Structure 1
């Protein structure tokens, strides 16, 4: 039947009909993606309440305890800070107790709450929550390499050699990509005005201070095709960003990934300000430089391997 219709319709009409069909499929898939996200995702901070599901409770407590860790890892944290965080912890920790939740994230949230109160009252930084980073060499071998890389939010002002940035990109280009299309792009901003401009569109860098270099990772959407690849640019961009961070680490540089979870109007303004084409999807920013001597890092506890690794059950 389809073959007969194709034979009967003029080529121009057939092309138009296929275009309409493709657009309808794209819209349907976008709606289904949105509905799935709305169904399962946790609410924003402002909507956090005692009605959160168990996983949503974990999401909110984890977000808030990590905010304390990050805040106390800055070179000059505000004092006091975290009124909203403290309010949510005071609301949700009793909820976890009432539900009998005894997972690690609850303990981390409790210690972060104590650390926040201590900082606000006395100006003391809890080493348990935001420890001074060990001066660990980037050892040869998987364990030393992966364990020694930490997100840094307190940078030394010394400049980063352009050659190291170029070398990091050369290494990161080895990232796998769908059908080897390699759609990634990265821009490095070292000029103070450019750094300030690009960071003004990101909402998680307050307090980090003077970042020597800001990287902006994008993906060329023209190198993806069809409805089935609608999420591929974000996957490709995430893979490349992680490869770039590991490459920087291997070259002795520190970094901190800065998410770009922003509405379209912010992305549009960033494109206009920095001259980024419309077809490039903005993935994330990355702060790059050398950690200041004696800098602190967020505790950032890791999940147990047994929780992440889902083993197949034997029949």
Structure 2
């Protein structure tokens, strides 16, 4: 009898809701993800540039590349770059793309043709000066890493999820610092698809479509929404990548707040289709951006405050040797 009740519950409640959620996510993915179509946004143009130029940057960094490598990608990148500058103008991405192409044609082992060299020279003549070119490769060395494990662990282990804040404002500079730190997070093919949306003062309408303030969230000074832009992700094999990139970006943002002695608490994003639709309406976040999580933040109060212990189990339980 118990098994029959469980089966009925599965068939009537769980499976239909799961199918609705999957269908909702599928249609959003098909509508906004990077794929071959007649509709292409500026972000999708940027993604195509980043995918190709980062492939060339990786090749330029290899110690022993094969002679004549990379020609097709470089030629394609030169075409994409020309189209991007024509349609979108010159910005940091354009300078980055031309900079990588310049580094590519000046490397003795890369694959080149007169046409490619001519294309790159034309790109450099449309308003991008040599001194403004960026990208290619840089050099790192172990001796520059001048901190140890214990120092970094001590900083990270002092962070707790805090739900009680003072009335002092978080400044624009502190937010900018935290975003700058978040940008150190790894990003697939350096696509940098994540953003921080900042909401101040009255954000109860946002909380209302995310299970309410739960008795504490409305007391925060700022509400941050971390998003990842679907326009930067393509094939079905990348369907989970926005959440991975977004999660790492969110964690670095939280740590960027923490090192400035600003308290934070991460609030999971509830993905019921009806709540998701309402969330986009009240936040005015573009629909091509996937919410990863909410982060409530505020300055610490002067008194000692209580937080959940949130005990961490032994690291040996999280390590599996194969």
CA distance in 2, matches of 1:165, 1:249: 11
Give the structure-1-normalised TM-score.
Answer: 0.53
State the number of aligned residues. Answer: 176
CA distance in 2, matches of 1:307, 1:205: 34
Say yes or no: does 1:231 pair with 2:240.
yes
From 181, 191, 195, the counterpart of 1:185: 195
Say if 1:259 and 1:285, in contact at 8 Å, map to a contact too. yes
Q: Is the 8 A contact 1:204 1:259 kept in 2?
A: no
User: Which residue, out of 147, 150, 155, partners 2:160?
Assistant: 150
Indicate the RMSD between aligned Cα atoms, in angstroms: 2.2
Checking the alignment, whether the CA contact within 8 Å between 1:218 and 1:284 is kept in structure 2 is yes
Does residue 299 (structure 1) correspond to residue 309 (structure 2)? The answer is yes
Distance in 2 of aligned mates of 1:240 and 1:203: 24
Of 191, 196, 221, 2:204 maps to 196
Query: What are the Cα deviations for residues 56-83 of structure 1, in whole angstroms up to 9, with x where unaligned?
Result: xxxxxxxxxxxxxxxxxxxxxxxxxxxx
Structure 2 equivalent of residue 165 of structure 1: 175
| Residue 291 of structure 1, CA deviation | 2.5
Alignment of 1:1-315 (within 5 A): 141-190=151-200, 192-193=201-202, 195-203=203-211, 205-208=213-216, 209-292=218-301, 293-312=303-322
Q: Match of 1:50?
A: none
Tell me the distance in 1 between the aligned counterparts of 2:252 and 2:245.
11
Q: Tell me, yes or no, if the aligned pair for 1:149 and 1:249 is still in contact at 8 Å.
A: yes
How many angstroms does 1:143 deviate by? Answer: 2.6
- On the 8 A contact 1:212/1:288 being kept in 2, the answer is yes
Deviation at 1:157, TM superposition (A): 1.4
1:83-112 alpha-carbon deviations (Å, 9 max, x no partner)? xxxxxxxxxxxxxxxxxxxxxxxxxxxxxx
Q: Which moved more, 1:205-214 or 1:231-240?
A: 205-214
**Displacement of 1:261 after TM fit?**
2.6
What is the CA–CA distance in structure 1 between the aligned matches of 2:159 and 2:315, rounded to whole Å?
18
1:200, CA displacement in angstroms?
A: 1.9
Which runs of 4 or more aligned residues in structure 1 lie more than 4 Å from their structure 2 counterparts after TM superposition? none
Find the residue that maps to 1:153 and give its secondary structure: coil
CA distance in 1, matches of 2:277, 2:213: 20
Distance 1:257 1:178 in 2: 23
Change (3 A) 1:175 1:204: farther
- Contact 1:267–1:282 at 8 Å: present in 2 too? no
Shift of 1:204: 6.6
The answer to whether the 8 Å contact 1:189/1:213 transfers is yes
Displacement of 1:267 after TM fit?
1.2
Structure 1: runs of 5 or more not aligned: 1-25, 31-139
